[in-house]
Amino acid sequence: MRAIIGLIALTCLAYTAAAHDTSGARHWEIASPDPDRVFLTFHGDPATSRAVTWRTDESVEQAYAEIAPASPGSGFSDRAKRHEAKTQPLTLEKDSKANNRTTHYHSVVFDELEPDTLYAYRVGSGGRWSAWIQFRTASDKAEPFRFLYFGDAQNDVHSKWSRVIRMAHRTAPDASFAIHAGDLVNAAHADREWAEWMTAGGHLHAETTGVPVTGNHEYKGKLAMQWRPQFALPVEDSLPEQLHETVYSFAYQGVQVIVLNSIAKIEEQTAYLEQKLGEGDYRWRVVTFHHPVFAPSRGPKQSKTRDHWKPILDKMDVDLVLQGHDHTYARGQTPKLSVDGEPGEALGTMYVTSVSGPKMYGINREGLDAFEEQFGLVTTKTGKNTQFFQVIDVNDGRLEYRAYTATGSLYDAVAIEKDQQGNKKLIEIPADE
Ligand SMILES: [Fe+2]
């Protein structure tokens, strides 16, 4: 009997040791009572709401976010409104190679905010709080603004993607949001990789609203176990549960942005795409997803995004499609199709494929020629072996698109001008190279 009790005690000890084994992990991978991985997302109208998520260890069972209009003096915090967080445990299973550690993710939705107002918020509990972090709500009018777009980060994120996101924010510190067009990490559930992605962005993830898009590397059997706990994203009830918090849309100062999931249940999203594009009176419409309609490296083999979504993008005359997956750079345009599907002279949709991380593929010229022959795609600029980020400015009837390299030089730039009838023309802007 004593031997059995001893064995049980030994097993419990071994389990406890394994449950908290952090050997081999870098200090910033390991959750503590201090909040980390603070990430801001859209959740409702960007003029009046935001959501924030953060991580702690499992000792923090009740956490809060506080928010107040920011002021030049430090007394703004006296006027802060406190929100209790929704807390959920996340046990890092063996796929994460994190030794079954349990962490807690906390989330709060800030609502009833004032449009076009600078707010300061912090997250935490007890004596352990984040810094006060500032962000501005959107205007409720179609005012000019700019946003960032990143292709795949995916590999060596701490080492080599960090310089790209930092250069992007030095180039456009006033960006209103940042689209991450899939493959944020390489191994879906690997917590050490999410630790890299969160650390690489650091406070930028907390103050510039992020728009995460799923890529194939966010799936291994199922969606990365961290995705839903760490990103508080809108749930589209009309879509299957599997797509929740991976397919969503928002409107920012007259621009509609639709995020699709090119990995799961693609056909089910087609009706959603068409319905969303039919809503509202937006001057510009942007759609983002991971797998490119026109793959500049892989070429014209079968593509579900082309088969299922391009007809809707054509029909609804979407202005800009932002994609990843092909680890190279290409920017091209298709002609606007007539009602009977025939290509005309007018500008249709601009498609961009880009990469922000260090993994690189080549350009398939024959493939691009085939796209031109079959779909009228005119590829204006390509690039390879370069880490990029993009800044997109919207000002009334003019959308300016700029692709920068990791070293901050302007690689590709173009403007789309749109008249009141919706007719568009493309205007080249001189670039550095
Ligand atoms: Fe990919």
Q: How far is the CA of 152 from the centre of ligand 1 (A)?
A: 7
Nearest Cα residue to 142 out of 46, 235, 215: 46
Q: How far is the CA of 220 from the centre of ligand 1 (A)?
A: 12
Q: How far is the CA of 47 from the centre of ligand 1 (A)?
A: 32
The domain ranges of the chain are 27-136, 145-428
Residue-wise pLDDT tens digits, 292-310: 999 999 999 889 999 999 9
For residue 291, the 8-state DSSP code is S
- Weakest-pLDDT range from 85-99, 103-117, 178-192: 85-99
Q: How far is the CA of 54 from the centre of ligand 1 (A)?
A: 26
Q: How far is the CA of 217 from the centre of ligand 1 (A)?
A: 6
Q: Which CATH architecture has domain 145-428?
A: 4-Layer Sandwich (3.60)
Continuous H helices in 309-415: 310-315, 365-375
For residue 64, the 8-state DSSP code is E
Q: Which residues of 284-294 are buried (b: 16+ CB within 10 A; e: fewer)?
A: bbbbbbbbbbb
Q: How far is the CA of 185 from the centre of ligand 1 (A)?
A: 10
180 has a pLDDT exceeding 70? yes
For residue 138, the 8-state DSSP code is P
Q: How far apart are the C-alpha atoms of 298 and 294, rounded to whole Å?
A: 9
Q: How far is the CA of 384 from the centre of ligand 1 (A)?
A: 16
Q: How far apart are the C-alpha atoms of 378 and 66, rounded to whole Å?
A: 50
State whether residue 4 is helix, strand or coil: helix
What percent of the chain shows pLDDT beyond 90? 87
Cβ pair 334, 318 in contact under 8 A:
no
Question: Six-digit token pair at 129?
Answer: 């709080």
Residue-wise pLDDT tens digits, 13-27: 444 434 456 767 888
Q: How far is the CA of 187 from the centre of ligand 1 (A)?
A: 11
Q: How far is the CA of 97 from the centre of ligand 1 (A)?
A: 22
First to last CA, the chain: 79
Nearest Cα residue to 233 out of 371, 93, 109, 402: 109
Residue-wise pLDDT tens digits, 198-245: 999 999 999 999 999 999 999 999 999 999 999 999 999 999 999 999
Indicate the pLDDT class of residue 95, thresholds 50, 70 and 90: low
Q: Which CATH architecture has domain 27-136?
A: Sandwich (2.60)
Largest CA distance in the chain: 87
For the chain, the 3-state helix, strand and coil shares in percent, each to the nearest 5, are 25, 35, 40
Nearest Cα residue to 135 out of 39, 56, 249, 232: 39
Question: Six-digit token pair at 315?
Answer: 């029909």
Q: How far apart are the C-alpha atoms of 308 and 355, rounded to whole Å?
A: 24
